[in-house]
A and B are shown apart, each in its own frame.
Chain A
Amino acid sequence: MQTAHSRQFENAVLKNYLLDQAYDEMFAGSGELHPHCEPLLEHFSSLPAEELQRRKHSADLSFLNQGITFTVYGRDEGTENIFPYDLIPRIITAAEWEKVERGLTQRITALNLFLKDIYNEGRILDDGIVPREVVYSCKHYRRQMAGLQVPRNVYIAVCGTDLIRLENGEFVVLEDNLRVPSGVSYMLTNRRVMKRIFPQLFRSYNVRPIEQYTQLLLGTLRSLAPEGRPEANIVLLSPGVFNSAYFEHAYLARQMGIELVEGRDLVTHDNVVYMRTTNGLRRVDVIYRRVDDDFIDPMAFRGDSILGVAGLFNAYRAGNVTLANAFGTGVADDKALYAYVPEIIKYYLSEEPVLQNVETFLLTRPKERQHVLANLDKLVVKAVGESGGYGMLIGPQSTKAQQEEFAQKIEADPRNYIAQPTISFSRAPCLIGDELEPRHVDLRPYVLYGDKVTIVPGGLTRVALKSGSLVVNSSQGGGSKDTWVLSQ
């Protein structure tokens, strides 16, 4: 997507660095370097190509040796790949971060209030702000949660919100991930590798630390323990070693010093959850679960699940164990509900949203549907229940046949899809071969909510490593890079 804006830089590393209408994280529109990127560019242009390659290889090998890999589904079981890693850090200034932090705090607070409301009184539904059918037709709505009190009224203890930057540089929310967001271990290990490979550069920037994340997460989980359990036994529930995020589960459990359990390690008896140890059964108080609602309790949810624990939901209902996140949070990150989040924020907090949404067309509304069907070649269509970049149509990059197929799917089940304008979100410099080239990036900061809201300054910057690609998911050729939030 090169436009009239394209211009050539004289610096040799930048010979393939072409600007277009997307916001560039290194250069302002006119080709001026953002001041905070000067030392960065200077450092990288001063290193010989071989030295850069050597450091890149050293980083890759370090990920492989540490076993920081993810599993690709649909191939041989256990096929492991390293998550591609880009050496150039992405830099966020203190002022930019301040706004992001304020916006995310506001958003998680409002979404928590929304969940409490719809599973109890349902005021927002009575007042007609959010249509009932949007909530009740969501496949992540859990009627089992109706009328249930959750500890501290915290439904979403951990969330990872996807942000992108528009052409004017403004951060907007693309997606709220309120079920079992992943990737935080990459944020932490990227930082560790970066500090090892570019120590001087790192030191010369005043980067705010993120290493405290696991301790904060543990504190958050502890604050949600059931009443009367001072020495709470906190565990992390993983689907097991074949899950694509298993490395992360093991990493977090080890860093927090808690047990990593699988469904088969847990049993319930008289509405109390125990884990099987070599010394008999031991009671479990808080479960940081990385298993989806559907699979977590074959008695309450999907009966064919072998990953779950029979009777877990009843123990939860009885208040004998806390789950983070609670069941049924997925209703608030439904892609159709997303369109109502600004209204939700205004309704509960009487504030204007700090972070805006991306314009979203709801296909259940006939007028918007017609508009979308007429403009499929320009819009992005997403299935509401899918994630990971699956079930998506990117209009400008699609064929007529694909558009036809989506048109039929939309007509058949309009509630299942939403559409958004194709946004050329911001691009950051990446090391491609021996040169720097711009690639599209997003940002996923991690928000914790226990007795208060905490956000470590940073997040996972995902990169669409293929030139021109707008898909950053690791399952589809995405990579990641370290994210530096500056302290001033």
Chain B
Amino acid sequence: MLSRVADSLYWMSRYLERAEHTSRLLEVNLNLMLDEGPTSAERRWQRVLQALGKPKRIEWKGDPYGLTRTLTFDTEHKASIVSCIIAARENSRHVREQISTEQWHRLNRLYLQVTRPEMQSDGQVEALQEGTSQPSEFLQSVMEAVHQFQGVTDSTMNHGEGWQFIQVGRYIERAYATTLLLEAYHEDLWAHPEQIAEGNEYLEWMGLLRSATAFEAYCKVYTADLTPDRIFEFLLLNEEFPHSVRFAIDSMQCALEKIQGDGGRSRAEALRRLGGRLQSSLGYSSVDEILNQDAVAYLKSIQTQCREIHEMIYALYVDYAIQTALAG
């Protein structure tokens, strides 16, 4: 597969994962906000920004809907949902001949829905941009479209190297975003739980779980008894839940091994080790151990390792020097 193609598939997938994650985070927080007094609003939205990795030039100015609009529609900001969808679609356009027609249609329809609302008859997007409508439906439709895209991807594309790069992109993004989310909540839920307004703990815990589509899955495992340590364990270390960090890293590593299997290069050894080390750390750590030591440092070290893996994928498959390739 062409290096450029692998690059585009990887980023297409990352951007879509990011659009979905941002949509869910906003949707959940807009919803929870209704149950609280205005005093805790600032704390909540600062946390949202932190969970999104503190997007450049976007600040909390006291208006949750204004912030939501910026994070949703403002194409001046690369972090906005519409920007992510445009970037994903642009990447897919570069590999138009590599993805299935069904994939392209689904993604292109999403793109047209958010960029050319005049083609959609219900006027939903204009109403939102003008602030006359609630964004919840829009955010849900984005999440739904991304889910459909994933379904179409799994059922219409060869599960070959290209598909594996899509998996790598999705799961590395997911692992990274989930650690950011845990980090953002750490201060409030684990370090200083007393700062949360009386009676709101449950809401906050539920909010965290729902931000990772984890509420129902959590209840199936632990029942609706929400406790911070279990939540942390579930989102970080659960082996079976698709949005947990461990599951994401396992899936990423599995896809990377398939790619290496296709390529069969000894240079991939370093990448295999890097992924394997992270995978074992998540597989064999206990939640008490992590929470008793410096949990934030642990989360940050996962982020660092994700970045290193990303860079190594690039050095190995995309941006390698021609001389070394000829020698090999």
Contact of A279 among B98, B101, B262, B326 (CB under 8 A): B262
Establish whether residues A278 and B96, one from each chain, have CB atoms under 8 Å apart when the complex forms: no
Chain A positions within 8 Å of B112 at CB level = 64-65
Residues of B within 8 A of A336 (CB): none
On chain B, the residues within 8 Å of A251 by CB distance are 96-97
A278-B318 contact, Cβ under 8 Å, with A241-B94, A259-B2: yes
A278/B6 in contact, CB under 8 A: yes
Chain B hits for A65, CB < 8 A: 105, 108-109, 112
Picked from B93, B94, B105, B325, the residue with its CB within 8 Å of the CB of A66 is: B105
Q: Closest CB of chain A to B87's CB: distance in Å?
A: 12
Closest beta carbon of chain B to A352's beta carbon, Å: 43
Q: Which residue of A lies closest to B101 (CB)?
A: A66
Chain A minimum-CB-distance residue to B259: A278
* Distance (whole angstroms) from the CB of B102 to the closest CB of chain A: 11
Contact A67 B104 (CB under 8 A): yes
Question: Is chain A's interface secondary structure helix, strand, loop, or mixed overall?
Answer: mixed
A278 adjacent to B328 (CB under 8 Å): no
Which of A38-46, A142-150, A154-162, A269-277 touches B? A269-277
Q: Which residues of A contact B263 (CB under 8 A)?
A: 278-280
User: What size tier do the contact residues of chain A reach?
Assistant: 20 to 34
Q: Are B94's CB and A267's CB within 8 A?
A: no
- Nearest Cβ distance between residue B170 and chain A, in whole angstroms? 18
- Interface presence of B147 (CB below 8 A): no
Q: Does residue B34 face the partner (Cβ distance < 8 Å to A)? A: no
In the docked arrangement, what's the CA distance between A253 and B101, Å? 13
Report if A260 contacts B (CB, 8 A).
Answer: yes
* Contact B326–A278 (Cβ < 8 Å): no
The binding surface of chain B is classed by DSSP as helix
Which among B2, B94, B262, B265 has the highest number of chain A CB atoms within 10 Å? Answer: B2
A246-B6 Cα distance, complex, nearest whole Å: 19
The answer to whether A447 has its CB under 8 Å from any CB of chain B is no
Q: Smallest Cβ distance from B71 to chain A, in angstroms? A: 23
Check B96 against A265 for contact (C-beta < 8 Å).
no
CB distance from B265 to the nearest CB of A (A): 8
Whether A250 sits at the interface, judged by CB under 8 Å, is yes
Q: Determine whether the beta carbon of B97 is less than 8 Å from that of A281.
A: no
Contact indicator A262/B322 (Cβ below 8 Å): no
Chain B contributes a number of interface residues (CB within 8 A of A) equal to 30
A164 at the interface (CB under 8 A from B): no
> Which of B4, B98, B119, B318 makes the CB contact (< 8 A) with A262?
B4
| Bound Cα distance from A259 to B322, whole angstroms | 20
Q: Is B3 an interface residue (CB 8 A)?
A: yes
A99 CB-CB contact with B under 8 Å: no
A261: interface (CB < 8 Å): yes
Contact indicator A261/B2 (Cβ below 8 Å): yes
| B257, chain A: closest CB distance, angstroms | 14
A-B interface pairs (CB < 8 A), number: 74
Is A132 part of the binding interface, using a Cβ–Cβ cutoff of 8 Å? Answer: no
Decide: B96 and A250 in contact? CB cutoff 8 A.
yes
Cβ-based interface call for B215 (8 A): no
B161 within 8 A of A: yes
Contacts A65-B109, A254-B96, A279-B263; A265 near B322 (Cβ below 8 A): no
Fill in one digit per residue for B286-328: 1 if any A CB lies within 8 Å of its CB, else 0. Answer: 0000000000000000000000000000000110101001101
A155 to chain B minimum Cβ distance, whole angstroms, is 27
Q: Shortest distance in angstroms between B12's beta carbon and chain A's nearest beta carbon? A: 13
- B221 interface contact, C-beta 8 A: no
Give Cα A246–Cα B119 distance, bound, in whole angstroms: 23
Binary CB contact string for chain A from 226 to 250 against chain B (1 if under 8 A, 0 otherwise): 0000000000000011000011001
Residues of A within 8 A of B96 (CB): 67, 246-247, 250-251, 254, 260
> B2, A280: Cβ atoms under 8 Å?
no
CA distance in complex: A265, B94 (Å): 12
Most buried by B among A262, A275, A280: A280
Which of chain A's residues have a CB closer than 8 A to the CB of B2? 259, 261, 265, 275-278
Report how far A44 CA is from B320 CA in the complex, Å. Answer: 59
Which residues of chain A are within 8 angstroms of B119 by Cβ–Cβ distance? Answer: 61, 64
Q: Which of A241, A251, A267, A277 has the most CB of B within 10 A?
A: A277
Q: How far is the CA of A371 from the CA of B152 in the complex (A)?
A: 65
Contact indicator B3/A276 (Cβ below 8 Å): yes
Residues of A within 8 A of B326 (CB): 269, 281
Residues from chain B with a CB closer than 8 A to the CB of A260 are 96-97
Scan A11-30; emit 1 where CB is below 8 A from any B CB, else 0. Answer: 00000000000000000000
CB-CB under 8 A from A66, the residues of chain B are: 101, 104-105, 108
Min CB–CB distance A255 → chain B (angstroms): 8
Q: How far is the CB of A265 from chain B (nearest CB, A)?
A: 5
**Residue of B with least CB distance to A236:** B97
Question: Any chain B CB within 8 A of the CB of A54?
Answer: no
Q: Is A409's CB within 8 Å of the partner chain B?
A: no
- In chain A between 150 and 206, which residues have their CB closer than 8 angstroms to a CB of chain B? none
| A282-315 at interface with B (beta carbon < 8 Å) | none
Once A277-B3, A281-B326 are accepted as A-B contacts, the answer to whether A67 and B97 lie under 8 Å apart by CB is: no
Residues in B whose Cβ lies below 8 Å from that of A61: 119
CA distance A267 to B263 in the complex (A): 20
Residue of B nearest to A260 (CB): B97
Give the contacts of B1-35 with A (CB-CB under 8 A): 1-4, 6
Interface membership of A346, Cβ < 8 A: no
Instruction: Check: A55 CB closer than 8 A to any chain B CB.
Output: no
Residues in B neighbouring A265, C-beta threshold 8 A: 2-4
Q: CA separation between A318 and B298, bound complex, in Å?
A: 58
Closest to B323 in A: A269
CA A271 to CA B118, docked complex, whole Å: 52
Which of B85-130 touch A at CB < 8 Å? 90, 93-94, 96-98, 101, 104-105, 108-109, 112, 119
A264 contacts the other chain (CB 8 A): yes
A262 to B4, CA, bound (A): 9
Q: Are A280 and B328 in contact (CB under 8 A)?
A: yes
How many angstroms between the C-alpha atoms of A65 and B161 in the bound complex?
A: 27
Bitwise interface map of A from 101 to 121 toward B, beta carbon under 8 Å scored 1, else 0: 000000000000000000000
25 A-B pairs whose Cβ atoms sit less than 8 Å apart in the complex: A66-B108, A67-B104, A67-B108, A240-B94, A246-B93, A247-B96, A250-B97, A251-B96, A253-B97, A254-B98, A264-B4, A265-B2, A275-B2, A276-B3, A277-B1, A277-B3, A278-B1, A278-B2, A278-B6, A278-B259, A278-B263, A279-B262, A280-B263, A280-B265, A281-B322
A residues at B contact (CB < 8 Å):
61, 64-67, 78, 240-241, 246-247, 250-251, 253-254, 259-262, 264-265, 267, 269, 275-281
Closest 7 CB pairs of A and B: A254-B97, A250-B96, A278-B317, A253-B97, A250-B97, A276-B3, A279-B263
Interface residues of B (CB under 8 A from A): 1-4, 6, 90, 93-94, 96-98, 101, 104-105, 108-109, 112, 119, 161, 259, 262-263, 265, 317-318, 320, 322, 325-326, 328
